[in-house]
Structures are given as C-alpha cells and as structure tokens.
C-alpha cells in the first residue's frame, strides 16, 4: 500500500468523514490500490450492526430509513447509510444524490449517507457495496443501513451483506404479498407494513402472518430460520414473544410491525425488533455462522471477478470476442471449442501449481 493510501487509512480510523468518503469513492471506482486498502479494513470490522431495508418501490423505504437514522441519533448512536440507487445508463453512477432523501439528518455529520450505483448487479448490490460497509464499520459507525433499489425477488442478495433484513410492504398490496411468496419471505427477519394509516393495513398484516404460519408449518419450503408463529395483536408480535433459543435449536419467528414513517409511528417498535434479532443472532451463535457464509461468498465473488478478467485477456489474445463470434457464425468453429481453447492455458497453469505444491 502506498503512502497516500496509508495516510487515508489512518485518517479513516481516526474518524475523519472526508477520509471515509474518499475511501468509499476509491472502492466504488475500483481505483488502483483499493484491494490493499480494503484488506487492511478487515482487522477493524465486526462491531457495527448492519441492517438491510428492502421492499417494493413505493413502500416508503427512504422515509423509514430517514426516521431510523434520526431515532438512532437521538439514542446517541452514529449511523452510516448506503442507498443503492439505479445506475445511470450514461455513466454507471448513482442517479440520486447522497442526501436528497434524508431531510431529517442533513447537517448531522454523525449520519453519513452515501448513494451507490447498483451497476446492474443481481439484487441491486455490487461487490463495492460490501466493501463500503467494511469502510463504515472500520470507521466506527454503530449502525449501518443499506437501502436497496427495491427490484423484487432479486433483493435476496442483500442477505450476504446485512445481519438483519427488514422487508417493507405497503398496505393493500395483495400482489406484492404474492410476490413475496416467490422467495423474499426466506430473507425477511422483520416485516414492516409501512404507511399503516392507509386502508388495507390490517389485511396485509393478516396475509403476512398466514405466510409465516405456512412457512413454519413446512408448507412453504420448510422452517428456515423461522420458528412457529406466536400470538400477538394486529400491530405485530413483540420482541419478547418472537425469540426462542436453546442449546439444541434456535428459531426466530419473523415479527410484523406496522409503521407510519412520515410521523414516526411504530419506528421505536421497529427498532426494538431489529435489536431483538441482533440479540438472537449473538445468543444463538447464528451471527458467527452468517459471517462465515458471507466471507465464503465474498471469496467466491472475488475469484469469479478475477477469473473473468483473466479470461477476457485470453479472449483478446485469441483475436477478440467479435472475431471469435464471426468464426462461429461462418461455421468454422463453435462456442464450446472456443471456450475449451481459452480455458486451456488457465487449466495448465492450475495443474502446474497443483503439481508444485504436492
């Protein structure tokens, strides 16, 4: 790592927000030396609570994130927010500005908000986002909130970055609830029926509760991390009634909280449920296992990226993808033969390494 990056790292660890912003820019732009910088961050991570907020467009995610940040600050905790925005078709950068949607916390330096481009990554999360979380964690932020673009089932990827995932559902959204059945139920640690002052809120809560009961009964893909549902009032189960753990088994029943983010109704209860889930993760040992799985996925992702870059170079050496495609179109070869030819040098190299390490 060069001297400038060492200085940047030191300033970040000293709590200088300007350094944090520069490190995240370096990460997002994949600037030279960013990998060495991120590698140094790992030794300083692991303390922050990482919360994912996802859900369908129009569910009020941004407003609720704003209220979450405001409430955490009132409790004396520092907050980092990463808003995953749609990518610009021209620059690949985030379309929305950093602080446009965080009106309540503008001017509060202990709420650091960063918009990042989804870059077309499945689930709205790029590798850069996970690295940005590490930067905020190493900086010392108590809470890190990731707000995703809300692209539906593909938001499942958020699980790999967040400890606790909250799925927001607007009231009267029967179609959205049906969509949840296709996969997002499995990633929800907390459900929030936002805009609960609107008609249809009670029905949406009931539909979600029926989904959770079906899941716990094994009729929806099998238990997962959800246990049997517990009785609660129509405004959602409380943290005390949704947590069960023992030496032999640990189960979490997804609570349902009704919120009205515009006036803060239900936000305190929502935060309590997020805290209860974190406590559950720690007490059950699940947090350690989730971290192990996350690191395993990070390794796989980095390997895929690196191998892809290597293969792109091999393709260029072989004449470029366009020339190879033209050869296939002319009937001179086929994609499988080309793939075998391009991979051959990589396979030979790996076999050579394997032979030398035995």
Whole-model pTM: value is 0.80
Domain with CATH 3.40.50.300 in the chain: 46-284
What tens digit of pLDDT does each residue of 273-294 get?
Answer: 999 999 999 999 999 998 898 8
What tens digit of pLDDT does each residue of 126-155 get?
Answer: 688 889 999 999 999 999 999 987 655 456
**Predicted confidence band of residue 237 (pLDDT cuts 50, 70, 90):** very low
Q: Strand 250-252 to strand 243-245: parallel, antiparallel, or no bridges (unpaired)? A: antiparallel
Q: Give the pLDDT mean for 255-266.
A: 93
Q: Give the pLDDT mean for 188-192.
A: 92
Mean model confidence pLDDT for the chain: 80
Dihedral, 202, 208, 209, 214 alpha carbons, nearest 10: 150
- Fold of the domain spanning 46-284: Rossmann fold (3.40.50)
């Amino acid at each position: 790592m060069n001297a400038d990056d060492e200085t940047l790292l030191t300033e970040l660890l000293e709590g200088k927000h300007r350094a944090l912003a520069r490190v995240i820019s370096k990460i997002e732009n994949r600037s030279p030396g960013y990998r060495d910088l991120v590698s140094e961050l790992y030794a300083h991570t692991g303390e922050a609570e990482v919360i994912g907020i996802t859900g369908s467009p129009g569910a009020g995610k941004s407003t609720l994130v704003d209220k979450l940040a405001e409430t955490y600050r009132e409790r004396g905790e520092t907050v980092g927010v990463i808003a995953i925005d749609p990518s610009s078709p021209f620059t690949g950068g985030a379309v929305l500005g950093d602080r446009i949607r965080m009106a309540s916390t503008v001017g509060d330096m202990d709420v650091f908000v960063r918009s990042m481009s989804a870059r077309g990554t499945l689930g709205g999360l790029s590798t850069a986002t996970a690295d940005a979380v590490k930067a905020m964690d190493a900086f010392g932020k108590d809470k890190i909130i990731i707000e995703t673009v809300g692209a539906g089932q593909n938001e499942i990827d958020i699980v790999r970055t967040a400890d606790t995932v909250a799925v927001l559902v607007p009231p009267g959204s029967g179609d959205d609830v049906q969509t949840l059945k296709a996969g997002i139920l499995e990633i929800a640690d907390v459900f929030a029926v936002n805009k609960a002052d609107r008609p249809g809120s009670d029905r949406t809560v009931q539909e979600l509760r029926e989904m959770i009961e079906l899941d716990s009964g094994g009729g929806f893909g099998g238990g997962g991390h959800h246990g049997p549902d517990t009785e609660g009032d129509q405004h959602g189960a409380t943290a005390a009634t949704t947590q069960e753990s023992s030496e032999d088994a640990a189960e979490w029943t997804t609570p349902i909280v009704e919120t009205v983010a515009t006036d803060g109704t239900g936000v305190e209860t929502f935060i309590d449920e997020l805290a209860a889930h974190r406590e559950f993760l720690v007490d059950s040992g699940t947090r350690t296992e989730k971290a192990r799985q996350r690191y395993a996925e990070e390794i796989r992702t980095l390997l895929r990226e690196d191998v892809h870059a290597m293969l792109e170079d091999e393709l260029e050496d072989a004449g470029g993808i366009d020339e190879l495609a033209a050869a296939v179109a002319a009937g001179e070869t086929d994609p499988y033969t080309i793939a075998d030819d391009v991979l051959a040098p990589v396979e030979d190299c790996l076999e050579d390494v394997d032979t030398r390490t035995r």
